[in-house]
Amino acid sequence: MAEAVWHRAVLAMQLLAIDPALGGVSVRARSGPVRDRLVSLLTWLPEPHHRIHPAISDEALFGGLDLSATLATGHFVQEQGLLSRSGTVILTMAERAATQLAARLAVVLDAGATHRLIALDEGAEPDEALNPKLAERLAFAVDLSGVSVTEAALPDSVDLAAAITHLRQVAVPDDICEQLTRIAAQFGIDSLRAPLFALRAAKAHAALCGKMTVDADDVEIACVLTLAHRATQMPSSDEEEQDAPEPDQTDSDDQDQTDTLDLPDELLLEAIKALLPDNLLDRIAAQKARQGKGSGSGAARKGNRRGRPMPPRPGRLGDGARLDIVATLRAAAPWQTIRKQATGRDGLQVRSDDIRVKRFEEKSDRLLVFTVDASGSSALSRLAEAKGAIELLLAQAYARRDHVALVSFRGTEAEVLLPPTRSLVQTKRRLAALPGGGGTPLAAGIVAALEQAVTATRKGLTPTIVILTDGRANVALDGAGNRVQAAADAQRMAQVVRAQRIDALVIDTGNRPEPALSALAQTLGAIYLPLPRADAARLSASVATALGD
């Protein structure tokens, strides 16, 4: 399997060398000999090779004011940027690229087939990944995390120059575009760039093999390379196609056999399915839930003292703002000649409009509020598995230095067993002593978790509420045993949680998925994980994936 991954990575580099319109390759791998061996294949790509980092400035990329030369000569002097000439751009630590840099690189890739981008993603966590808008513009994505040095064999030499020349002569059957678009739609890929990339990759592969026409093998390989990592859903079986009438064959003899390609959709679907991870749906759900909320390891907050540097902005000194001297001089330099003529004074003249202040971005600590159903129905089914899963998650949270709070609900009320803490021993002790039995006051549990989350937010933490229940709410907020009122109260409190923009995760611990819990998750805007017949290890793994760990 690892050898196949390496072969696809090498093939992606070859196809990118043949057709620059494929954009580039996203390579997920830590720094090491395997990644270095793949980077050595960049000799196939045109020079110059520019290696950039996430904190690179716009002036370095596109060119800008040459400050020293401008101040020395007294007139505007332009310097050349790294992207002023076509070539290959190597983005290191691509997972740390801010939205601003991703947008600028995307503009360059959209401008035409003049640059190729190799994004080296060194992220260790699932939520550390290349910006999706930039990843969309790269045809290929490979993950070399599981490839060893012995499996990363250097490829045989190929005549890429001949393939580039031959690319213009490769013919494409008429029905390929429609089929690729249909396949992409079945995997939930809503961008038209994906089928276009697949079409170009198939044509480049045909040129690499010296073919005159794209055939079934080219299309299958192109779909595997360009569509598998973009899938957002598993394709549903379409039984209607089996009953569809066969196309009329009366005019088929009059057409050239190379105008169409008789390739069943099922073959392409199975080829792509073989590469999809088992927890694809959990990953996609987690990404959608985290989008724009800043969950994961903590929400991003802007400040002016510490954290990751951000581009400076115009501002005023005061209120703790820190002056960015270099940026301020860059803003003032182009106006020096005009200001000297207007004022008749020599020397550097800086005005309030030139002031640039520093900005930083830091991430807050995360709080996991485990809200556990300890009612009688849950105790009879999955309480033991839920306790085991929480203990596994607690060990992971301790390693990340996350804060943990524990809330249980049973009988007629909810109880905060443990306020936010980092003590693993104390949390395990409280969890082990958690009794089971009584009614299911789900709404009261949500209220108690919400109070902990709101308090944590005021202290600068990023809370995530994790609800583990079988969904059989039967106790209302006033303590009355009324199933209808209990469900209504739970929905109402879920709306309050969502209004507070607090992330949540609903774990259905029942033996069968509960529709009421799915509806509750929708109201919360949360991830819903039905886990029937799952042991503690699988439950913990699914929750960790959903939380982005």
Same domain, 316 and 441: no
Q: What are the φ and ψ backbone dihedral angles of 369, each rounded to 5 degrees?
A: -100, 100
Residue 287 has pLDDT above 90, yes or no: no
CATH code where residue 180 lies: 3.40.50.300
- Please tell me the predicted confidence (pLDDT) of residue 245: 45
> Stretch 81-106: mean pLDDT, rounded?
87
What's the mean per-residue pLDDT of the chain?
A: 78
pLDDT of residue 178: 87
Give the model's pLDDT for residue 461. Answer: 81
Residues 370 and 473 in one domain: yes
pLDDT band at 238 (very low <50, low <70, confident <90, very high): very low
Whether the link from the prior residue into 311 is cis, omega within 30° of 0, is: no
The confidence band for 251, taking pLDDT boundaries of 50, 70 and 90, is: very low
Mean pLDDT of 388-397: 68
More confident residue, 433 or 122: 122
List the single range of 81-95, 159-173, 243-257, 435-449 with lowest mean pLDDT. Answer: 243-257
In the chain, the amino acid numbered 280 is: L
What distances in angstroms separate CA 303 from CA 35, 189, 309, 310, 358, one per listed residue? Answer: 35, 37, 10, 10, 9
Residue 487: domain span: 366-547
90: pLDDT strictly greater than 90? yes
* 8 A C-beta contact, residue 462 and residue 504: no
Contacts of 28 (CB under 8 A, 6+ apart): 121, 123, 129, 141, 142, 143, 144, 145
Within a domain: 286: no
Instruction: Indicate whether 240 pLDDT > 50.
Output: no
Q: What is the pLDDT of residue 137?
A: 92
Average pLDDT over residues 438-451: 89
485-529 pLDDT, tens per residue? 998 999 999 999 998 888 888 888 777 778 888 889 889 888 888
Percentage of the residues of the chain whose pLDDT score is greater than 70: 74
* Per-residue pLDDT, 97: 86
63 and 22 fall within a common domain: yes
Name the least confident of 175-184, 395-404, 468-477. 395-404
Q: Are residues 370 and 323 in the same domain?
A: no
Instruction: Tell me which amino acid residue 325 is.
Output: I
| Residues 30 and 143 placed together within one structural domain of the fold | yes
- Looking at the structure, do residues 352 and 490 belong to the same domain, yes or no? no
Is 511 within the bounds of a domain?
A: yes
Is 22 among the domain residues?
Answer: yes
> Does pLDDT of 18 surpass 90?
yes
Residues 412 and 349 in one domain: no
The reply to whether 245 falls in a domain is no
259 inside domain:
no
Asked whether residue 234 is assigned to any structural domain, the reply reads no
422/394 Cα distance (integer angstroms): 9
**pLDDT at residue 546 greater than cutoff 70:** no
CATH code, 537: 3.40.50.410
Whether residue 55 is contained in a domain is answered as yes
Q: Which of 226, 249, 273 is the last residue of a domain?
A: 226
The whole-number pLDDT of residue 124 equals: 61
**Residue where a domain terminates, one of 226, 248, 276:** 226
- Do residue 308 and residue 330 come from a single domain? yes
Inform me whether the pLDDT recorded for 121 exceeds 70: yes
218 to 204, 224, 231, 234: CA distances (angstroms) = 9, 10, 20, 23
Total number of domains in the chain = 3
Measured distance CA(308)–CA(443) in Å, rounded: 40
My answer on whether 472 and 485 are in the same domain is yes
The pLDDT, as a whole number, for residue 199 is 93
pTM, entire model? 0.55
**pLDDT(377) > 80:** no
**pLDDT band per the 50, 70, 90 thresholds, residue 427:** low
pLDDT, tens digit (0-9, with 9 covering 90-100), for 129-181 = 788 889 999 999 988 888 888 888 888 888 899 999 999 999 988 888 888 88
pLDDT at residue 463 is higher than 80: yes
Residue 197 above 90 pLDDT?
yes
Q: Which two tokens stand for residue 428?
A: 């395990």
Cα separation values, 255 from 18, 171, 259, 476, Å? 31, 15, 7, 71
The model's pLDDT over 23-44, given as tens digits with 9 standing for 90+, comes to 999 999 888 888 999 989 988 9
70 vs 301: CA distance, rounded Å: 36
Q: Kindly state whether residues 135 and 148 are assigned to the same domain.
A: yes
Query: 178, 208, 226: which is the final residue of a domain?
Result: 226
Same domain, yes or no: 212 and 333: no
Tell me: do 324 and 404 sit in the same domain: no
Among the listed residues 128, 470, 422, the one whose alpha carbon sits nearest the alpha carbon of residue 300: 128
254 found inside a domain: no
